Amino acid sequence: MVSTPELMAWTAVVTATMLALAWLAERWPLLKAAIAAIEDVLSAVYLTAGLSVVMISVVTRYVFNNPLGWADEFARVFVAWGAMFGFSVALRERRHIGVDLLYTAVSDRVKHGMDLLANFIGLVFAAFMSVTGWKLVVFLKTLGLKSIYTDIPEWILQLIIPLGFLLFALQFAINLFDVLRGREPIHEEVAGV
């Protein structure tokens, strides 16, 4: 069991590390571009692989009447990994769903403060989730559980939790620096809503 002070300390370490990486990304545009490219490629590869496995599974199950036991597990893992990497891409492109009822009613100075606060809270939350996700992975490794169909250790399948949230935390940190530098996030209006 992890104590609360230890969890808070590790969350602070991850938060500080992500801020340092975001600071470096501000100074080295190639690093920022590399992070974006890695997120894009990982998201596309895992989502494509997951959807391909689903398609193969449907064909083998309903056309050949021979379901593949491993296909559902791989599809679930690939889509989960692709979605986690995709969350970071969506955050980078400011495409997450948001309720802006209050946001549109306040001054630009208050909007700036809200953007700073939202990105900081998101950074700390994602750092916390990466730490707790890592604790889960370590716990699963000690249990020695393996997948039923593929015999892959369960801790490997769950690595997406800490990795995905680390990328998410890094993107929140990069967005935080963008707001601090005056590059305000784009809040798109949806026409007709």
pLDDT band at 141 (very low <50, low <70, confident <90, very high): very high
Q: Give the predicted TM-score (pTM) of the model.
A: 0.84
> What is the residue extent of each domain of the chain?
4-180
Q: Indicate the pLDDT class of residue 171, thresholds 50, 70 and 90.
A: very high
At residue 99, what are phi and psi to the nearest 5 degrees?
A: -100, 115
**What is the spatial distance between Cα 65 and Cα 179, in angstroms, rounded to a whole number?**
55
Q: Kindly report the average pLDDT of the chain as a whole number.
A: 87
Cα(first)–Cα(last) distance of the chain, in Å? 47
Bridge partner list, 146: 153
pLDDT score recorded for residue 188: 55
Task: Summarize pLDDT for 114-137 with one digit per residue, the tens.
Answer: 889 999 999 999 999 999 999 999
For residue 140, the model assigns a pLDDT of 92
Q: What percent of the chain has pLDDT over 70?
A: 94
What helix, strand, coil percent values describe the chain, rounded to 5? 75, 0, 25
DSSP state of 68: -
A 10 A CB-CB count for 137 gives 21
- Half-sphere exposure of residue 59, counting CA atoms within 13 Å on the CB side? 6
What is the secondary structure of 27-75 as a DSSP string? H-HHHHHHHHHHHHHHHHHHHHHHHHHHHHHHHHHHTSS---HHHHHHH
Rounded distance between C-alpha atoms, residue 164 and residue 133, angstroms: 10
